[in-house]
Structure 1
Amino acid sequence: MLPPFIIEQIRKREEEERQIEERPVLELPLPPRAPRAERSPDDDGDRGVVVIDLF
């Protein structure tokens, strides 16, 4: 037989899990996302350096 405090802890955990599962979930009717174009690792695009002189 388990001690009463351990049984109480098990009951609390089960109740918390039950509350999470019973929590209502909002489902939004979002349009499906367009598939992303895969980029090759060599194709980083045209990137440059910007130097800002603050003085």
Structure 2
Amino acid sequence: MLPPFIIEQIRKREADERASYEQPVVEIPLPRPRPRTVERPSDDEPRRGVIILDL
């Protein structure tokens, strides 16, 4: 059997470990992401881009 002071040290260590796991967690409220809106080009504007022709 273990001496009483060793048993007390083991209990103290276990209590310290439990206390470190049971610390409250702070939750930071984050803004919700906005849904992306897809901008479609209107028919009034000409399409712009790059065309590569190989001659």
State the TM-score, normalizing by the size of structure 1.
0.49
Q: Higher RCO, 1 or 2 (CA under 8 Å, sep at least 6)?
A: 2
Asked which structure has the greater CA Rg, the reply is 2
Q: TM-score, normalised by structure 2?
A: 0.49
